[in-house]
Amino acid sequence: MAIPPKLAPTAQEWHVTADASRGAAAPPELVQLLTPEGERVEHPDYDIDLKPEEVRSLYRDLVLVRRIDLEAVALQRQGELGIWASLLGQEAAQIGSGRALTDADMAFPTYREHGVAWCRDVDPVKLLGLFRGVNHGGWDPREHNFHLYTIVIGSQTLHAVGYAMGVQRDDAPSATIAYFGDGATSQGDVNESFIWASVFNAPIVFFCQNNQWAISEPLEKQTRIPLYRRASGFGFPGIRVDGNDVFACLAVTRQALKNAREGQGPTLIEAYTYRMGAHTTTDDPTRYRVASELEAWKLKDPIERVKSYLFKNELADQAFFDSVEAEAEQLGADLRRRCLAMPDPAPLDIFDHVYAEPHPLIDEERAQYAAYLEGFEQR
């Protein structure tokens, strides 16, 4: 095998820009079932037969999670949350993949998977706990088969593979899905998780939302070839899907999960999408990216295309759209109200749940601090 000939760049030219497709043009290998204009297209390997009510339901999901997200951003602006990581633009990737999961499947999110959380029936107000600073994770992962948000980039991918190895050992007919971003693909842990998954043929789907940015760093800082190809180096299939196309995300993830459940091992899905907002509410993307890029991606909005599709095919009328809108408003208002009503934790909660079994030092510190606080009250 020959080393592919390549023009030798000069020493000054070694800043490689490999994937210049970040802008408007869709890269060639992309699985797409619904165009930005709302046209259904065929794909030789993936197809999906969705009943009208299923499409409407997906549309509703997309609108509602966007509304949850918008409300959270607003809550942060008003000082009710310390920070918020917006999913704006990534709704289709999350709803498509999230709706592909069965109840028995297990999901491991990052900190941005509010749409997947929605699919896993996690009450949206519980997502706010971490960002409001009242807890580090507000739901019971076992109840929803949805793990807690993980902030340390990439570390959840290993937990997911370990979990999938457990599923294998239980001989259970379920799959595990691990979410992560484009930036995360550079972490040792993510690559180790690929190795584990492949060596043990674990029933797992790696779902990478390539939103083109890791805070201020464009994709080229993490890779010089399309991310889905990473999988080939580890011996399992990788596939790139239009991350703004909820049909395609659903179809591709469903197939990958099925393969996993049937013992065919891991798949890497790269959902090609875009982070429309700031990295988090504390970020200022104008420092590092150009407005035209955002404009190009606006034309690919994941919700608009489903709406067009429903309209054009007369699968929904204005009354439907209005009712979803009203539901979204209701959900937003409700979320806001319940956010403000969230009780603050009590000081002595600091000492809870550090250990599952009794721990004398924790008990001692709790008692001391309680006495200290009491001393204050008595003053």
Partner 1 sequence: MTILSLSKALNEGMRKAMEDDPKVLIMGEDVGKLGGVFRVTDGLQKDFGEDRVIDTPLAESGIIGTAIGLALRGYRPVCEIQFDGFVFPAADQIITQLAKMPMRSLGAIKLPVVVRIPCGGGIGAVEHHSESPEAYFTHTAGLRVVACSNPADAYTMIQQAIRSDDPVIFFEPKRRYWEKADIDTADTGWWTPLDKGKVVRPGTDATLVAYGPMVKTCLEAAKAAEDDGRSLEVIDLRSLNPLDTPLVMDSVRRTGRVVVVHEAPVNSGFGAELAARITEQCFYHLEAPVLRVGGFSTPYPPSKLEEHYLPDLDRVLDAVDRSFGF
Ligand X SMILES: Cc1ncc(C[n+]2csc(CCOP(=O)(O)OP(=O)(O)O)c2C)c(N)n1
- Judged by CB under 6 A, the chain residues 181 through 200 that form the site for ligand X are 181-184
Write each residue from 215 to 234 as x if it is in contact with a second copy (CB under 8 A), else as -, in one continuous string. Answer: -----xxxxxx---xxxxxx
**Rounded CA separation 57/365 (Å):** 51
- Contact pattern for ligand X over residues 9 through 48, marking x by CB under 6 A: ----------------------------------------
Residues of span 250-279 touching partner 1 by CB under 8 A: none
Q: How many CB atoms lie within 10 A of CB 88?
A: 18
Toward partner 1, which CB reaches closer, 111 or 309? Answer: 111
243 binds Mg ion (CB under 5 A): no
Q: Is 198 helix (H, G, I), strand (E, B) or coil?
A: helix
Burial class for 271, CB neighbours closer than 10 Å (0-12, 13-18, 19+):
buried
| Span 127-186, contacts to Mg ion by CB under 5 A | 181-182
Nearest approach, Cβ of 85 to partner 1 (angstroms)? 9
Per CB under 6 A, 275 contacts ligand X: yes
Nearest distance from C-beta of residue 192 to ligand X, angstroms: 12
Asked whether the beta carbons of 86 and 76 are under 8 A apart, the reply is no
Residue 211 tokens, joined? 């939103």
Our answer to whether residue 147 is catalytic in this structure is no
Give CA angle at 249 (230, 106), nearest 5°. 80
Select from Mg ion, a second copy, ligand X, none the partner in contact with residue 153, using the beta carbon and a kind-dependent cut-off of 5 to 8 Å.
ligand X
Active-site residue, selected from the candidate residues 288, 353, 359, 372: 288
C-alpha 103/C-alpha 91 separation (Å) is: 20
Contact 197, 204 (CB under 8 A): yes
Cα 249 to its chain centre, rounded Å, is 12
Of the residues 31, 116, 177, 257, which one makes contact with a second copy according to CB under 8 A:
31
Among ligand X, partner 1, a second copy, none, the one that 142 touches (CB under a kind-dependent 5 to 8 A) is: partner 1
The mark string for 121-160 relative to a second copy (x by CB under 8 A, - otherwise) is: ----------------------------------------
Residue 267 binds: one of partner 1, a second copy, ligand X, none (C-beta under 5 to 8 A by kind): a second copy
| From partner 1, a second copy, ligand X, none, interface partner of 341 (C-beta below 5 to 8 A by class) | none
Among ligand X, partner 1, a second copy, none, residue 237 binds (CB under 5-8 Å by kind): a second copy
Tokens 């091992």 found at? 265
CA angle 288, 292, 296 (to 5 degrees): 120
DSSP, residue by residue, 77-105: HTTSSS-----TT-HHHHHHHHHH--TT-
Active-site residue, from 254, 279, 305, 336:
279
Q: Determine if 29 is a binding residue for a second copy (CB under 8 A).
A: yes
- The reply to whether 353 belongs to the active site is no
Q: Are 86 and 349 in contact (CB under 8 A)?
A: no
User: Would you count residue 20 as binding a second copy (CB under 8 A)?
Assistant: no
* Closest to 192 in 3D by CA, of 144, 226, 159, 217: 159
Report the residue number, 255 or 281, with the smaller CB distance to a second copy: 255
Question: From Mg ion, partner 1, a second copy, none, which one binds at residue 9 (CB under 5 to 8 Å depending on kind)?
Answer: a second copy
Neighbours of 25 (CB within 10 A): 9
Q: Does 287 bind partner 1 (CB under 8 A)?
A: yes
List of E strands, the chain: 106-108, 176-181, 204-210, 213-214, 217-218, 238-242, 267-272
- Count the Cβ atoms, other than its own, within 10 Å of residue 51: 9
Chain residues 160-199 in contact with a second copy, contact rule CB under 8 A: 168, 171, 185-189, 191-192, 195, 198-199
Rounded to whole angstroms, the Cα distance separating 48 from 135 reads 40
217 scored as a contact of partner 1 (CB under 8 A): yes
Write down the least CB distance from residue 6 to partner 1, Å. Answer: 21
Beta bridge partners of 70: none
Compute the least distance from the CB of residue 29 to ligand X, in Å.
20
Residue positions annotated with a catalytic role:
275, 279, 288
Binding site for ligand X (CB under 6 A): 110, 112, 151-153, 181-184, 211, 213-215, 275, 279
